[in-house]
Amino acid sequence: MDKKTELRIEGMHCVSCERTISGALKKVPGVDNASVSFVGSSATVEHSDTPPDPQKLINAVKSTGYNAYLVEGSSEEEIQAGEERSFKIQFVALILSALLTLPIVAQMFLDWFGLQGVIPLWVQFILATIVQFGFGWRFYVGSYYALKTFTGNMDLLIGLGTSAAYFYSAIVFIFGLDRHTYFESSAAIITLILLGRLLEMRTKTRASGAIKALLKLQPKTARILKEEEWVEVPINQIVVGDIYQVRPGDTIPLDGEVIDGSSYVDESMLTGESVRIHKQAHTLLFGGTHNGQGALRAKATAVGSHTALAGIIRLVQEAQGSRAPIQNLADKISAVFVPIVVLIALTTFFAWWGFSGQFTEALINAVAVLVIACPCALGMATPTVIMVASGRGARSGILIKNAEAMQTAEKLQIIAIDKTGTLTEGTPTLTDVIPDTDAVKRLAASLEDLSEHPIAQPIAQAYPNKAHVTSFEAIAGKGVVGVIDSEKYYIGSLKWMQDWGIKIDHTLTDPLERDGKTVVCLSNATQPIGYFAVADTLRTNAKEGIEKIKDLGIEVVMLTGDHSKTAQAIANQAGITSFFAEILPQDKAQTIERLKKRGKKVAMVGDGINDAPALAAADVGFSMSTGTDIAIESSDITLMRNDICHVADAIDLSKATFRKIRQNLFFAFVYNIVGIPLAAFGLLNPIIAGGAMAASSLCVVGNSLLLNHWKPTKL
């Protein structure tokens, strides 16, 4: 299994930078794969058990003209300080560039009113030279590294465009030619690009704000019990088993189990649910949640990267760094975008010069083509939305593992839902015993006491004095068998009993099953001894959740190991018309495969170990956070609230996400399809083109940020 090393990248300013950096990282020995996120300013390196030398990774990034450092070992404060430092440097550069550009642009406006020469040409030359090679030097550096790796980027386009305008004007000035100069174009374009990148940096920071918000939830210290005294210590010094204190109004420092006290805790940062949860002895606490007015003492059960909050942060980071299939088209176009634009600019130049004979006009129109083109808007159309959506989902209790799952969720046509623990509470109670005698209850309770099945627990509690069981065996999805007082007994599903040749009295079992109860039979080797009926209540809002899923145009089916009569009763209560009954755990994945063979996208919703294969087999797997670790690991989307309505919310979020992505891609395509021809036909001034190019990326990021207004449905 591949492991990952995370790098923070500084200095990226274009999606084309991603290909340059990832290409360099892939050449480092020991690296299996590398992906780079321009929006997230990060790189993920996949490798085998032996990680590559971190310094070689950093050097590989530096060889492409950027800076890098390992995320592991760097605190969030250090990362944030680096971002703020980079922002301040960019801000100062913008202000100085603007101050030097202002006089040149002012002279351009004065020329319109016949006031030539107010700002002497030699002053314009000096100011433009400082801007071009001072604040514009970064474009030459970026162009050098792009050409060095045989790629193209925005730096190359800006460098070519501004250099053409500057050097043409410099030649006119130096040789005293009777031609118009375009110092204002080269200086203004550089200044506008710097402004665009500064604003882009700030909006990108807002897009990735979900991670920072989650990180801020974790307190820095906690009060733990040491030698009968409460001592405040840093979080990273606490180990599993330490006793810690939570005072009224405190943020809970880390995951734990309450051992004393009572309070109500706000867990909305985990579940998106605003209702406070009552906490008392033996209930679980989660780091980052907020305590009410009660006082609690708890034993630490998870620390560091093993806490629920750390798991959420890790999932969000992985989702934000993942790539949706819809992005492939934009990536392919971005890969050839710069060479095509340069070709169009050259064609524009020679066409204008050849047909009009005006060298100056041809040059300016070619510069406008170079400047108006924007692969950034195209490249950022998808990842910015994925970043915002994954963060918004996390704040609502919807944890999405990757962008591909999010895209597939939008196209779902069938959702299969496991009954026990998903549609129902998963805590069945014993309702009927036939015949209700101590002898029958003693035998059944003794056998079921050794079983881990949810239905076994209430039967095991039916009789306190258990008999000694030997030769015990559990048959998954069927029942258990054991020897008591030298005689062999069986207890399990009615179908299993019938398979053994045991004759079931359906006059007793059918009415119970029609009421939605699960009936098991106790028998010896030849005949039934008794029947036990267990009822599991439907979850609150389960029926409403099913209706919401149906409203999205998705078919809902239920999977259960119960008899068909019991399954029919539960399905009727939940508003489900299609179900598969008497399915063994190992057959759930096969059922999912059969549904997929209909040519439809199929999701699975479950929470148990026996749901893991089906979750993995489905196009999208939804697991409830109260489920087992293996179920969560096998799923694509984890729901922090045990509520079927949350499934509908996750699908609605995916639909909203890809509406935004399509809007962004449409805008980016239209912008370039319209803008480049306008520039080629001489209808755009290079300065206006530069401003429009800077604005295009901001429009894409701004539209993505609107997804922050998405909210889960309220019942």
Residue 491 pairs in a beta bridge with: 480, 522
C-alpha distances (whole Å) from 610 to each of 336, 570, 597 are: 48, 20, 22
- pLDDT given at position 215: 62
Going by DSSP bridges, is the β-strand pair 578-580/555-559 parallel, antiparallel, or unpaired? parallel
Structural contact between residues 456 and 643, judged by C-beta atoms closer than 8 angstroms: no
**What dotted CATH number matches 3-72?**
3.30.70.100
Structural contact between residues 24 and 61, judged by C-beta atoms closer than 8 angstroms: yes
Lowest-confidence pick of 123-132, 178-187, 268-277, 303-312: 268-277
Residue 516, helix vs strand vs coil: coil
Question: What confidence category does residue 651 fall into, taking pLDDT thresholds of 50, 70 and 90?
Answer: very high
Whether the pLDDT of residue 76 is over 60: the answer is: no
Going by DSSP bridges, is the β-strand pair 637-639/620-624 parallel, antiparallel, or unpaired? parallel
627 vs 189, higher pLDDT: 189
- pTM of structure: 0.72
Q: Which residues of 400-414 are buried (b: 16+ CB within 10 A; e: fewer)?
A: bbbbbbbbbbbebeb
- pLDDT given at position 419: 85
The C-alpha atoms of residue 228 and residue 247 are separated, in whole angstroms, by: 17
154-174 vs 327-356: helix axis angle to the nearest 10? 20
Q: Which of 421, 437, 409 is nearest to 319 (CA)?
A: 409
Q: What is the mean pLDDT of residues 568-581?
A: 90
- DSSP conformation class of 135: I
Q: What is the mean pLDDT of residues 310-336?
A: 71
Question: What confidence category does residue 270 fall into, taking pLDDT thresholds of 50, 70 and 90?
Answer: low
- pLDDT given at position 546: 93
Known catalytic membership, residue 629: no
Structural contact between residues 278 and 288, judged by C-beta atoms closer than 8 angstroms: no
Q: What is the mean pLDDT of residues 624-642?
A: 68
Domain regions of the chain by residue span? 3-72, 218-309, 397-424+538-650, 429-535
346 vs 311, higher pLDDT: 346
When the candidates are 2.40.50.140, 2.70.150.10, 2.40.10.480, 2.160.10.10, the CATH number that belongs to 218-309 is 2.70.150.10
Tens of pLDDT along 697-709?
Answer: 778 888 888 888 8
Tens of pLDDT along 203-214?
Answer: 666 655 555 666
**What dotted CATH number matches 397-424+538-650?**
3.40.50.1000
Whether the pLDDT of residue 520 is over 80: the answer is: yes
The C-alpha atoms of residue 401 and residue 548 are separated, in whole angstroms, by: 23
- pLDDT given at position 319: 66
Lowest-confidence pick of 271-275, 646-650, 670-674: 271-275
When the candidates are 3.30.300.30, 3.40.1110.10, 3.40.710.10, 2.60.120.380, the CATH number that belongs to 429-535 is 3.40.1110.10
Largest Cα–Cα distance of the chain, in whole Å? Answer: 116
Tens of pLDDT along 521-536?
Answer: 999 988 999 999 988 8
Lowest-confidence pick of 317-321, 436-440, 498-502: 317-321
Question: What confidence category does residue 628 fall into, taking pLDDT thresholds of 50, 70 and 90?
Answer: very low
- Strand order, beta sheet including 469-475: 429-434, 528-535, 518-523, 487-493, 479-484, 469-475
Q: Which of 471, 371, 393 is nearest to 159 (CA)?
A: 371
Q: Which of 155, 242, 255, 418 is catalytic?
A: 418
Counting residues of the chain whose pLDDT is more than 90, the rounded percentage is 23
Structural contact between residues 417 and 605, judged by C-beta atoms closer than 8 angstroms: yes
Lowest-confidence pick of 465-474, 494-503, 538-547, 618-627: 618-627
156 vs 589, higher pLDDT: 589
- DSSP conformation class of 271: H
The C-alpha atoms of residue 619 and residue 603 are separated, in whole angstroms, by: 6
Counting residues of the chain whose pLDDT is more than 70, the rounded percentage is 89
Question: What confidence category does residue 636 fall into, taking pLDDT thresholds of 50, 70 and 90?
Answer: confident
